[in-house]
Chains A and B, each alone.
Chain A
Amino acid sequence: MHRTEGTYHNGNLFTDGPPGTIVEQNWANAMQEEVCNVIESAGVTLKTASTETRDQLLTALQALFLQKTGAIGKNAIINGDFRINQRSPGIVYTSANLSGTATPGNNDDVYILDRWILLSDGNDIVDVSQSTEAPDGFLLSCACDVETINKKFGIFQPIEQKNCMHMVGDTVSLSFYAKVSDITKLDNIKAVVLSWDGVADTITSDIVSAWGANWTAEHTPSNLGVTASWVKYTIPNISIDTADTKNIGVFIWSDGFCDTLGTFLYITGIQLEPGVVSSEYEWRNITDELALCQRYYCKSYDQNVAPGSADEDGECFFATDAVALADHLVEIPAYFPVVMVGVPSIVLYSPATGLSGKVLMAAGDVVGVASKIGDNKISKISGTNGAASVSRIMAAHYTASIEL
């Protein structure tokens, strides 16, 4: 679509028969602006007479209403607004979360908020948390708080092959909201869409200094000029044209050096969608969003309870009584809330103490074993106890993880 250069060029067209209806300048301009408004509100830049393609209204309508959808909706990013935080609800991911504890530390290449990997040039570069600092219409954002100066950091989400193949060979658009606490300290925020041509769903994720083998940037990332106010940034019309692409990933990062501790980068509303322009952020029902996350990570604890807590609610439990005095083995199954992407790794916790590797039995915590693990359940959580005089019980919590 382009705007006309004049409004009276088409006069005297009706030479035969009754005179045609006179198209008034005001009416023609109104028509033109109605159409142009639709196109521009979809984020499409109007063309000129020389570049006219006569398909921009269609593109705009598709972007606004009919944009191609995949199995999980138009947004291929899961937890793009950071409402899900199963690993450590209410807790900041810091270096104080030592390796081996239930809450991940803020190390490089570690999954933190659901489906997001923290990538940084070393460990303890930024603390990460869910923040209530968010643009209008959003509840939360991902807050990255600089803990080590002059190091790059960012967040990365790889997308499972089955959830991104509809975009391979096609065009996608990336959008997200961001702000920084001090534009003089964090002044080089970038975002990129990457393609992985290695083995499907078997990615390497440590890409902070270089994309690494099998990852290809599908466009040249540039400084977005993120400000101290919430702004929606869009990178439209990205061709996913790397041969043999199996997975797509989105990386948003600070490519500059920050020399001041306590400087924050906030990000939320991340959306990767098919199409040449970015559309409004797709709000998912929280039940759906959680289920999407649970395909990769789930737990038996309540959603607001961090794994490793001493907490009985939701525990996997078995009890019987009137049995003889003897050592006894108890084996119980535990079902995952959704079928997971593959066979996950399991950590067991005692609901009494929160200790990992333990299950609770009649005499207290004993070593627990998870075996015969499938993508929908742990067939056996086992524990062996000494003689129990009255009852035999077993209680256990679990976390199951099969992140890409």
Chain B
Amino acid sequence: MYKLTKSGIQNLETTEFIENMNSRQGRKYQKWLSGGNTPEPEFTKVELAAKKESDIKRKEGELIQVQIQFDMATAKNFSIAEDYGKQLTKLELELSKFKK
């Protein structure tokens, strides 16, 4: 009936996001919890896999964008090319982490 989210709880029946545990909805959740129930994790295995795939695609998209900017700046010998280079390195590192 409830699911953990990054910043609180989501009521799966109403889709309501609940961050305030002192609220009417928060107190209802705590009563449910004290009844021996357990909320679902933020992501199921399937959702985790989908999220990973989505994160990789998104990071690849960012990488392409920065690569274009880097190539243009390098061709025109702009000093900002150095910054784009650093961003590229950082993004490549993040991407490799996502792919692990």
Contact = CB atoms under 8 A, between A and B. Distances in A.
Contact-residue bracket for chain B: 20 to 34
Contact of A324 (B6, B7, B61): B61
Given A343-B19, A384-B54, A401-B25, A100 B60 contact: no
Contact of B57 (A100, A346, A387): A387
Nearest to B42: A369
Interface string A337-381: 000001111111000000011000000000001111100000000
A1 interface: no
B19 A373 contact: yes
B14 interface: yes
Given A324-B65, A371-B5, A371-B7, A346 B58 contact: no
A292 interface: no
Contacts of A327: 54, 57-58, 61
Interface string B58-88: 1011101100000000000000000000000
Contact of A343 (B13, B23, B62): B23
Nearest to B12: A357
A262 to B, nearest CB: 30
Contact of A342 (B22, B57, B65): B22
A310 interface: no
A202 B62 CA distance: 47
A369 B7 CA distance: 10
A329 interface: yes
A99 interface: yes
Contact of B64 (A100, A326, A348, A401): A326
Interface in A113-137: none
A387 B60 CA distance: 11
A114 to B, nearest CB: 15
B90 interface: no
A357 B11 CA distance: 10
Interface in B1-39: 5-8, 11, 13-20, 22-27
B57 A326 contact: yes
Contact of A369 (B17, B20, B27, B58): B17
A46 interface: no
A370 B6 CA distance: 10
Nearest to B15: A357
Contacts of B54: 327, 384, 386
A68 interface: no
Interface in A201-258: 202
B3 to A, nearest CB: 11
A403 interface: yes
B64 A345 contact: no
A139 interface: no
Contacts of A371: 5-8, 17, 19
Given A357-B15, A369-B5, 7 more contacts: A100-B13, A324-B65, A326-B65, A328-B58, A345-B11, A347-B15, A356-B15
20 contacts: A99-B13, A324-B61, A326-B62, A326-B64, A327-B57, A327-B58, A342-B23, A344-B23, A346-B17, A356-B14, A357-B15, A369-B17, A373-B17, A373-B19, A384-B54, A386-B54, A386-B57, A387-B57, A402-B24, A403-B24
Interface of A: 99-100, 202, 324-329, 342-348, 356-357, 369-373, 384, 386-387, 401-404
